[in-house]
């Protein structure tokens, strides 16, 4: 088996793969050496039919415990993803050292999902990121925008009286009170933004495929008028592909 770890801004996701199959996925607020050891033991006991864990990769957009790195490096073939890691795509980003590791992972997964196509990946999480890979497997870049909860929190933080409201599945166009007005502005505004970005890419690139991922992906895939492919585990799958690519080289 292979262990992939995605350390995001607000949560940590772990995935255990047997070949290309995701056999176990867990989400954590934080991860320690002890909890990681317990997880590895439990997964190994749960899936005795699979091969022992031999390889691991981490993608991190924030700092994490050095002890985790030491543990994985001492036991397994370990990769800490960076812009210098060999990849099956070409990074054409002008500052690759500043590129989020999760964005690298989803770009790799995208070209494997739709080979020979232009692909726009929209990752709806703490931020909404737009990442574009052309049909020549060149990662060109994209955009970064505040996520849904970040927008709610910004209205509460940077105003004197606006409340912090909770997210809902649907917001009417016309808010009939302050909380619903905030939901209308944020949620309908995000939908309009995403649709507009998709339309701009579609106008410039033929044979465009759209992939949605991230914690808020399900909110969008039911409401946007464009045809999209949704995959909430895109980062994990991309990390598994990068690990395979490096083990085979």
Q: Residue 106 contacts by C-beta under 8 Å, 6 or more apart in sequence? A: 121, 123, 131, 211, 213, 234, 235, 238
- Strand runs labelled E in 19-94: 21-28, 55-60, 77-80, 90-91
Are 6 and 24 contacting, i.e. CB atoms less than 8 angstroms apart?
Answer: no
Cα(111)–Cα(134) distance, rounded to whole angstroms?
A: 9
Catalytic (active site) residue 34? no
Q: What six digits make up the tokens of 117?
A: 């196509």
* Cβ neighbours, 10 Å, residue 98: 8
Q: What are the backbone dihedrals phi and psi of residue 79, each rounded to the nearest 5 degrees, phi first?
A: -130, 130
Are 25 and 233 contacting, i.e. CB atoms less than 8 angstroms apart?
Answer: yes
Q: What are the backbone dihedrals phi and psi of residue 53, each rounded to the nearest 5 degrees, phi first?
A: -65, 125
Are 242 and 58 contacting, i.e. CB atoms less than 8 angstroms apart?
Answer: no
- Annotated catalytic residue: which of 102, 131, 216, 221? 102
Instruction: Tell me whether residue 118 is exposed, middle or buried, using C-beta atoms within 10 angstroms of its C-beta: 0 to 12, 13 to 18, 19 or more.
Output: buried
* Cβ neighbours, 10 Å, residue 25: 15
Q: Active-site positions?
A: 102
């Amino acid at each position: 088996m292979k262990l992939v770890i995605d350390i995001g801004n607000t949560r940590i996701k772990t995935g255990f793969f047997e070949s290309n199959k995701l056999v176990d996925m867990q989400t954590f607020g934080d991860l320690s050496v002890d909890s990681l050891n317990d997880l590895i033991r439990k997964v190994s006991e749960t899936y005795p039919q699979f091969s022992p864990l031999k390889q691991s990769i981490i993608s991190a957009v924030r700092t994490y415990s050095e002890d985790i790195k030491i543990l994985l490096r001492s036991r397994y073939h370990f990769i800490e993803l960076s812009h210098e890691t060999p990849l099956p795509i070409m990074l054409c980003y002008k500052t690759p050292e500043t590129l989020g590791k999760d964005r690298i992972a989803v770009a790799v997964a995208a070209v494997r999902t739709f080979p020979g196509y232009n692909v726009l990946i929209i990752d709806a999480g703490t931020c909404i990121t737009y990442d574009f890979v052309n049909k020549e497997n060149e990662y060109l870049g994209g955009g970064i925008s505040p996520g849904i909860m970040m927008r709610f929190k910004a209205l509460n933080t940077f105003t004197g009286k606006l409340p912090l409201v909770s997210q809902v599945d649907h917001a009417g166009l016309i808010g009939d009170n302050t909380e619903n007005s905030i939901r209308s502005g944020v949620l309908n505004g995000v939908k309009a933004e995403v649709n507009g970005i998709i339309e701009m890419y579609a106008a410039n690139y033929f044979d465009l495929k759209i992939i949605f991922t991230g914690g808020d992906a399900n909110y969008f895939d039911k409401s946007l008028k464009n045809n999209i492919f949704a995959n909430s585990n895109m980062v994990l799958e991309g990390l598994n592909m990068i690990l395979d690519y490096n083990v085979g080289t």
